[in-house]
Structure 1
Amino acid sequence: MSVLQARKMGLPSMNLGRFKGVPILKQLYLEEQLLRTSSDNWCIINDGTNAPTVVMGLSGKPSELLEVGSVLQEQVPVIKRFTGGGTVIVDPGTIFVTLICNKDDVPGVQPYPRSIMYWSRLLYNEVFKEIGDFQLRENDYVFGSRKFGGNAQSITRKRWIHHTSFLWDFEAGNMSYLKLPTRAPEYRLARSHMEFVCRMKDYMPRSVFIDKTVMAIENQFSMKPVDLDVDAATHDTEFVHSTRLLLKRELEEA
């Protein structure tokens, strides 16, 4: 037995599900179901979604966060997810990384947002070592003062989820669907969306980021690749999802 194998025997197990281009609504359905019905640790990586989509936090209000007229005119889907956090526009250039953990399997982390965020910073320090000026600023991952990763969480009695939308690339025009939020991070300094965010592709290749992320997680968990049926969560009528696609009527009345 190698030293690496021996070390991994003492690590908690984690299932790894990898996708490419899965619609973000299906991904969120799957994640919510895994958080609430599975007892395993999970890492979900989705390399891009299929089409531009607005994703809002659980308490987000379209009238405050979206240019509703443009969203309706361009027929951009709007999702309200089951976790908190801010509003993002995602598309094929977005890379999604989700960690669903039993709190007892990450003993150094308290089941509170700040503790989980701090732990995630240490994890991604390994990924972005010597690449840009990586920092955790409030709840965002940034290079210097420009955001490239937005985070959201949900915490239950025994488990928590931490998921991130990484802006490997994006269409500048899609940012026009988002209003400047009234509650923004202090470090944003009222900058426009284009002045506030940056593209990860200017710092590292897409495949390198994904590979280094898996390697960093493997330092803390014994990873096992698994095949997941992402459509099963969508069609499971027994599980009631709080994630949902907003109706046109809801946006018109916003």
Structure 2
Amino acid sequence: MVISQIKNLRLPLMNVVRMNGVPILQQLHLEEKLLRISSENWCIINDGTPDPTIVMGISGKPAELLDVKSVLQDKIPVIKRFTGGGTVIVDQGTVFVSLICNKDAVPGVQPYPQPIMAWSSLFYDEVFHGAGDFKLRENDYVFGSRKFGGNAQSITKNRWIHHTSFLWDYEDANMTYLKVPQRAPKYRQARDHSEFICRMKDILPRSAFIDGTIKAAETHFSLSSISLEDIKYLDTTNFVPSSRILTSKELEATICAEDSLLSHSL
């Protein structure tokens, strides 16, 4: 017991915030605030978001990534987040895990995309050990050749965030809002969404994944549980989050631009 306590004291401290059904935009605002204002390490776990929502990377272009007409017709919110990465549609079946760390929090991991990505695959290998053929393939988490986790990152001078949308379950119909991106990973091999992604619920229970994530974090950090209400001390009028919902006018403009390009090409 004493040896275990000494070991934990040597590990960097990480605050764990477990949330249930927090809207994804609120989660993104919280994460960016913690990345830019806090100097502590954080693990944010959000078990689902209430309504189907499309989330795009900071440089994503709706016309290239979305069936914009269907998105507008069905009034699906589209968020442009503060991190890079690809496009996902999330809902109550999505489990979100975000790791926000100081650059020296994980020994041997340089604050660059690939080293962080490689370390994250080892981290989640602990979570999925014995449950499916887990791999990291071209920045995606997969079971075999099917994707179930999409990743995004942001790196500042002294800190980084690595966050993942895990598809524990999803509605097939929702995937029709997403186009196959022009710059898709090679292993996708032009497969449509139904052949490219899979559900985590076919591999392990939802609670087992969340508990396993916390257990894996305990091997790298000394954990402290904090409630969402306890983070109010970070409230500041100087912080303006950059993740936002795209307006209908912005989405409509992409349709007009796309139609104009098509007419000129005919």
Corresponding position: 1:50 with 2:50 = yes
Q: What is the deviation of 1:244?
A: 0.8
Distance 2:220 2:159 in 1: 17
Asked if 2 retains the 8 angstrom alpha-carbon contact of 1:57 and 1:84, the reply is yes
Corresponding position: 1:170 with 2:170 = yes
Q: What is the deviation of 1:153?
A: 0.1
Match of 1:116 in 2: 116
Q: What is the deviation of 1:232?
A: 5.9
Please list, as runs of the form range in 1=range in 2, the aligned pairs for 1:206-245 lying within 5 A after superposition: 206-229=206-229, 237-245=237-245
Distance 1:68 1:230 in 2: 39
Where 2:83 maps in the other structure, the secondary structure is: coil
Q: What is the deviation of 1:236?
A: 5.3
Corresponding position: 1:77 with 2:58 = no
The size of the alignment, in residue pairs, is 254
Larger Cα-atom Rg? 2
User: Aligned pair in 2 of structure 1 residues 107, 231: CA closer, same or farther (>3 Å)?
Assistant: closer
Asked if 1 retains the 8 angstrom alpha-carbon contact of 2:41 and 2:101, the reply is yes
Match of 2:126 in 1: 126
Percent identity (aligned): 66
Q: Which moved more, 1:223-232 or 1:67-76?
A: 223-232
Corresponding position: 1:139 with 2:155 = no
Asked if 1 retains the 8 angstrom alpha-carbon contact of 2:66 and 2:179, the reply is yes
Asked if 2 retains the 8 angstrom alpha-carbon contact of 1:30 and 1:230, the reply is no
Deviations 1:17-58 (A, max 9, x none): 010000000000000010000000000000000110000000
Distance 1:5 1:138 in 2: 38
Amino acid at match of 2:204: M
Match of 1:152 in 2: 152
Q: What is the deviation of 1:222?
A: 0.3
Match of 1:95 in 2: 95
Q: What is the deviation of 1:253?
A: 0.4
Q: What is the deviation of 1:164?
A: 0.2
Q: Unaligned stretches of 5+ in structure 2?
A: 255-266
Match of 1:247 in 2: 247
Q: Unaligned stretches of 5+ in structure 1?
A: none
Distance 1:236 1:175 in 2: 37
Match of 2:65 in 1: 65
Amino acid at match of 1:131: A
Deviations 1:74-119 (A, max 9, x none): 1000000000000000000000000000011112101111000100
User: Aligned pair in 2 of structure 1 residues 200, 230: CA closer, same or farther (>3 Å)?
Assistant: farther
Q: TM-score scaled by structure 1?
A: 0.97
Amino acid at match of 2:194: M
Q: What is the deviation of 1:3?
A: 2.5
Asked if 1 retains the 8 angstrom alpha-carbon contact of 2:39 and 2:102, the reply is yes
Where 2:104 maps in the other structure, the secondary structure is: helix
Q: What is the deviation of 1:249?
A: 0.5
Asked if 2 retains the 8 angstrom alpha-carbon contact of 1:26 and 1:230, the reply is no
